[in-house]
Structure 1
Amino acid sequence: MLEAWYLELGEGAADIPEERIREIREEIFQKLPGNSGGKFPAGILLAAAAIAVIMVSLILEVVFHRRDLVVQHVTHDIPPGGNRAVLTLSNGQKIDLTHASNGSIAVQQGTRVLKNRAGLLVYDDSVGPEAKAQAGENTVTTPVGGSWQLNLPDGTRVWLNNSSSLTYPSHFRGQPDRMVTLAGEAYFEVAKDKRHPFIVKSGGQEVKVLGTHFDVNAFANEHVVRTTLLEGLVTVSAADKKLTQKLFPGNQSLLQGGSLKLTRANLEQVVAWKNGYFRFDNTPIEQVMRELARWYDIDVRFDGTLPTEKLNGRISRSKNISKVLSALEATKTVHFKMEGRRVTVMK
């Protein structure tokens, strides 16, 4: 019924008064099975909560596409981030991947480093004159507002989020495992190799896998290290190895202080950044603004008491920041003032 209502009204749904929305909600409640017209049973209340969240999310997306700018004092807009990263080779040489030409960009320890036509950083682990040379460390670093994709020498594919860095060997030949170090956030599709476990060290923990798809969020300013499994099986351990959790698909581990907890994850929200959008699921405004700050390179300030309402919805990461802030303002839970690259959050 909700979908039919939304499709019938189309973009005009964003302009429906709250009074009418309440009437529609009551009509839906009255027609739900098991409702006798008295107090709502627990199941109906749960359904009501779900409907309310869906309606707010739908309205947020519609408003995002059609509302005019309502953010105060905008003198200039801020564009979104993009593909920007720097590769640091084992000899200390730095290569700006954004402006590097396609093709071979370096050769080290018998391994060729290439930037393909799609902009993907690829390692050709061909056996050259230096095949027996000890592997050196390479690091890909993304700035605020930057992201990059790369294929490691073993074929593992990595999506590196903004404000992040990944350090790894120039080749894995002759090593008992495939160990990399992450700061920030990355999504991994690990090439299968039963004899050589793939290990990610990040934020005071280790994730050990043989071949799987997972996301690690270890931003320093988030205070919680989140590891989310989408496919396969992984083991997450605190750095001292005293705490260990085994993750199955859909699980997320939370490492904070001296505890390592396990919970169910909203997979769409976890990989939203990789797929090109922000996804909020009962997300506090402070967390929302940290995500925006890392992508748009803005200075966020808070004026007065923070809103207690949580935000839900999905917004493209390819839009200028004014569009994103306008969509958030349309929820009527928060307001913004822009002055250059400073964004002030007001209730």
Structure 2
Amino acid sequence: MERKRNDEEQAAKYRLHYFRRNDVPALTESELEEESARIYQSLMEGHAIQPVKSSRLWYSGAAAAAVGLIVAGLFYFNEVPVSKPTGVQVVYSNDIAPGKLGATLTLANGKKIDLSAAANGLIAEQEGVSISKTSDGKLVYTIKDSKSTNQEFNTLSTVNGQQYEVILPDGSKIWLNAASTITYPANFAKLNKRKVELNGEAYFEVAKDKSRPFVVRTDRQEVEVLGTHFNVNSYGNEDAIKTTLLEGSVRVSDSKSQKVLLPGQQSLLTDDALSISKADVDEAVAWKNGDFIFKDEAFNTILRQIARWYNVEISDSKDRPDLRLSGTISKSKNLSTVLKALEVTGEIKFKIEGKRVTVLE
């Protein structure tokens, strides 16, 4: 009996340790220790865990992270037996490191530059602009001749397991997520509109220029702004194109209609229609800020995010339309850490074989 009790305590302490973050400025160490102790006591007593209410996002998120991911709508944590720490003690035969900064720049003349291997400093020159790579992994365009009229288009692309930032010649900043591509003019000097084309996901901080609107085109929609912060998720294997506005205003249009977004709103373009709803901004831009944030997220959607960041193939023989999860995990963790967090729900297990991940249950 005593051994069983010790096993339960070790499992609970493992969860508390494994999912605590050490880089959260909004929560003091004493507050985190107090919250962890409360969660640990609830685990030992088999009580449902009710996170402390707080206006700070991370404080409520700390509870979810400390106990792993909660199966939203299906289970409360006290229904996952502490005496059966499902998945926590699984040992993977191999592990996979998280993604990193990296991308390929394709110049107008067709030359390709691997930014992961390129030295810092000047990497290319085009008419009217110079292109440099900074020591912290940014691609920066600098105007040399504002009178240049030659229109050259460059393409920045990432594969699974990569993301990158580019600063365009007008000062606009773009963060490109994994498995994404953006094509843009190398020089905006003589353009009436600053048009870029996106396939995948990117976060934009657009420099204000009332005389030249900034336009983001995907395969099925167009977003037009003057100067604002927003995120566009347009992956081809997702069910919808999501545009989330953080600051300013944007006009989103498709072939049938157009709508104006206000800060804190999100447009959703499906096969049927373009709609607007309240956005969870933190969840929408979590990828850029170094986290996975899932809030009542469909299991299959979570798997696709994980596959893109860790550059793996994930196969699941079962259809799980009712399995939805919530929680926060740092993207800096190895793949096994993320999978163990999902396994804590008791619903699923994983097996890693090379670059292939299989859902076992």
TM-score class normalised by the smaller sequence: 0.7 to 0.9
Matched, 1:100 2:118: yes
1:196 aligned residue (204, 212, 215): 212
1:301 aligned residue (289, 310, 315): 315
CA distance in 2, matches of 1:201, 1:245: 15
Alignment check: 8 A CA contact 2:129 2:141 kept: yes
- Displacement of 1:73 in angstroms is 6.6
Name the SS of the counterpart of 2:47 in structure 1.
helix
Matched, 1:266 2:273: no
CA distance in 1, matches of 2:69, 2:231: 26
Identity %: 42
Name the SS of the counterpart of 2:46 in structure 1.
helix
Partner in structure 1 of residue 93 of structure 2:
75
Structure 2 gaps, min length 5 = 1-26, 52-58, 71-76, 78-84
Alignment check: 8 A CA contact 1:72 1:338 kept: no
- Displacement of 1:305 in angstroms is 4.6
Matched, 1:146 2:162: yes
Matched, 1:10 2:26: no
CA distance in 2, matches of 1:17, 1:250: 36
User: Residue 336 of structure 1 aligns to which amino acid in structure 2?
Assistant: F
- Displacement of 1:338 in angstroms is 1.8
Matched, 1:231 2:247: yes
User: Residue 286 of structure 2 aligns to which amino acid in structure 1?
Assistant: A
- Displacement of 1:331 in angstroms is 2.1
User: Residue 76 of structure 1 aligns to which amino acid in structure 2?
Assistant: N
Partner in structure 2 of residue 21 of structure 1:
47
Alignment check: 8 A CA contact 1:177 1:199 kept: yes
Alignment check: 8 A CA contact 2:172 2:205 kept: yes
User: Residue 178 of structure 1 aligns to which amino acid in structure 2?
Assistant: R
* Range with bigger deviation, 136-145 or 51-60: 51-60
Name the SS of the counterpart of 1:21 in structure 2.
coil
Name the SS of the counterpart of 1:222 in structure 2.
coil
User: TM-score if structure 1 supplies the norm length?
Assistant: 0.83
User: Residue 290 of structure 1 aligns to which amino acid in structure 2?
Assistant: R
Change (3 A) 1:247 1:307: closer
Name the SS of the counterpart of 2:282 in structure 1.
helix
CA deviations 1:7-64 (Å, max 9, x no partner) are 4462683574486314x76xx9xxxxxxxxxxxxxxxxxxxxxx9998545422899x
Counterparts of residues 332-347 of structure 1 (less than 5 Å): 332-347=346-361
- Displacement of 1:202 in angstroms is 1.0
Change (3 A) 1:221 1:337: same
CA distance in 1, matches of 2:296, 2:149: 51
Name the SS of the counterpart of 1:220 in structure 2.
coil
CA distance in 2, matches of 1:101, 1:55: 43
Structure 1 gaps, min length 5 = 29-50
CA deviations 1:215-246 (Å, max 9, x no partner) are 000001002100000000000000x2x31010
Alignment check: 8 A CA contact 1:69 1:322 kept: no
Change (3 A) 1:86 1:305: closer
CA deviations 1:188-234 (Å, max 9, x no partner) are 00000000000000131000000000000000100210000000000
CA distance in 2, matches of 1:124, 1:12: 53
Change (3 A) 1:200 1:327: same
Alignment check: 8 A CA contact 1:72 1:337 kept: no
User: TM-score if structure 2 supplies the norm length?
Assistant: 0.80
User: Residue 68 of structure 2 aligns to which amino acid in structure 1?
Assistant: L
CA distance in 1, matches of 2:155, 2:225: 21
CA distance in 2, matches of 1:211, 1:325: 39
1:281 aligned residue (275, 289, 295): 295
Matched, 1:328 2:328: no
What do you get for the CA RMSD once the two structures are aligned? 2.9
Alignment check: 8 A CA contact 1:73 1:337 kept: no
